[in-house]
Amino acid sequence: MLDRAFSARRTQPHSLFDVPTSSAVSDVSPDAESADLLADESKTKKPHLYVLASNYMSRLGLVKSPCLCLSLCLLLSVFMLFSLMLNSRSFVCLSSYDPISRASFFGLDGLNSDFGSLGVPWCRSKQGKTVEWTSKDLVKGLEEFVPIYETRPIKNNMHGMGFDHSFGLWFIAQWLKPDIMIESGAFKGHSTWVMRQAMPDTPIISLTPRHPEKYLKKGPAYVDENCTYFAGKDFVDFGSVDWERVLKKHGISDFSKVLVFFDDHQNELKRLKQALKAGFNHLIFEDNYDTGTGDHYSLRQICDQFYIRGGGHSCFKDSDEARIRSKRKKFWEKAVDIDELCGPHEAWWGVRGEMRDNFNHNNTLISYGEHFQNSRFVESILDVYWELPPAAGPSLTHQTRYDPARAPTPIVEDGRYRMFKRLGLDRLDRSVFNGYTQMVYLQISKPET
Ligand SMILES: C[S@@+](CC[C@H](N)C(=O)[O-])C[C@H]1O[C@@H](n2cnc3c(N)ncnc32)[C@H](O)[C@@H]1O
């Protein structure tokens, strides 16, 4: 039943029914007639190529010159062997993650039309409200942000945000114009720098166990002058802060003017409940990991449900999903196949049936019932759910990590190289496009009674 529910969102025909496989044919027990046919195989067996060739040539009158006939046969065989090698190259010599191989395997059109074939689950909001900005605004934003990004102090932000999410955070912050920004998880301070670019005079509060200034000793880091750090010995977890008191000190009483940014790899359901309790409305989660991936339970995982369009999974090894996943795994590092997706007892939700927390240090097995209830809870408090699209399609950025079949349509779609170039995206090192994990912006409010 699970597989049927999954297959309902597929458009591809079921290959087993369309084309009988050789094993399907050989499984049929031969009746008397087919036994006769098998016994008389020599009558129907195709003649060898050289027989056909010499027949053809004898018709042309070449049989009288056997040398010429033999050389022509040889030439024909060499030609056929060569063309066979050329045609089969894409099947045997594919280097996985190589974008050119990917494009030649799927074809550029195939690459495009294959996007979304696995479905992209989306959290439902209370009134179905969406964001104010349009794709035109995002394109305009990219044009403005690329030159800003090029001046970033931390050029190699491994383990931190890459280009896509830096753009997302900058775009949302400058659009919302909050009175104060809170960040949980700063690392070397790249995200603090991004928020500062969006809002030059707005105070920031940063919660992070290790102060970014500590990284300055080893290389580039960013410490902000107008930021209050709860770091080092002053570190307090977001859930333990008395926000009423802290924000009052900053002269803030209207919590709807606060933007909270989480990049701390904590269970997002836990963070959501803490943020709701404190009275915050605007949240961004940097790592909105897809089902089967990541080190914490995410919104994307929570809303990946059978009753959501594009959601739910099948652990059935012969399913369409298993087939598509194993194919895509060859091309995208972060794609997961059925074996990875499903834990014991076919538990596909979260990561192998676990609700993960705190960089994988605190993982809890949950039942599907709990997972389902978590989704219902999230829906009861969500006013807006908006996943940042990738900046550009993989044939432009050459990113090899995330599977585009599980991401929204990019801002600059594949094939639009002139636009990619005009926006200055071609100037960026391709490695900065490899960190996309469906960053999400949420508006939340207390559930309606
Ligand atoms: C992925 S890094 C953040 C990257 C950063 N936002 C950037 O853009 O470069 C995760 C950070 O979360 C911090 N962290 C760990 N536990 C935390 C917690 N409970 N609250 C806040 N930050 C935490 C880690 O020390 C680390 O600096």
Cα Rg, the chain, nearest whole Å: 29
| pLDDT per 10-residue tile (average), the chain, 449 residues | 30 25 30 32 34 39 50 62 39 35 40 54 94 98 98 96 98 98 98 98 98 96 98 98 98 98 98 98 98 97 93 91 92 94 94 98 97 97 98 96 93 97 98 96 94
Ligand 1 pocket check for 161: Cβ under 6 Å: yes
Q: Please tell me the predicted confidence (pLDDT) of residue 118.
A: 73
Distances (CA, A) of 149 to 125, 146, 226: 32, 5, 20
Q: Is there an atom of ligand 1 within 6 Å of 185 CB?
A: yes
Atom 19 (ligand 1) nearest CA:
237
Two tokens, residue 424: 């200055």
For residue 184, give the ligand 1 atom closest to its CA.
21
Q: Which atom of ligand 1 is nearest to the CA of 188?
A: 9
Predicted confidence at residue 117, as pLDDT, reads: 56
CA nearest ligand 1 atom 25, residue: 209
| Structural domains of the chain in order of their starting residue, each with its CATH number | 24-112 (no CATH), 122-444 (3.40.50)
Ligand 1 pocket test, candidate residues 183, 187, 190, 298, most atoms within 8 A of CB = 187
Whole-number Å distance, alpha carbon 189 to ligand 1 midpoint, is: 10
Report pLDDT for 80: 55
| CA 397 – CA 390 distance, rounded (Å) | 10
What ipTM does the predicted assembly reach? 0.99
Q: What is the 3-state secondary structure (H, E, C) of the chain?
A: CHHHHHHCCCCCCCHHHHCCCHHHHHCCCCCHHHHHHHHCHHHHCCCCHHHHHHHHHHHCCHHHCHHHHHHHHHHHHHHHHHHHHHHHHHHHCCCCCCHHHHHHHHCHHHHHHHCCCCCCCCCCCCCCCCCCCCHHHHHHHHHHHHHHHCCCCCCCCCCCCCHHHHHHHHHHHHHHCCCEEEEECCCCCHHHHHHHHHCCCCCEEEEECCCHHHHHHCCCCCCCCCEEEEEHHHCCCHHHCCHHHHHHHCCCCCHHHEEEEECCCCCHHHHHHHHHHHCCCEEEECCCCCCCCCCCCCHHHHHCCCCCCCCCCCCCCCCHHHHHHHHHHCCCCCCCCHHHHCCHHHCCCCECCEECCCCCCCCEECCHHHHHHHHHHHHHHEEEEEECCCCECHHHHCCCCCCHHHCCCCCECCCCHHHHHHCCHHHCCHHHHCCCCCCEEEEECCCCC
Q: CB of 295 closer than 6 A to ligand 1?
A: no
Q: What pLDDT is attached to residue 68?
A: 57
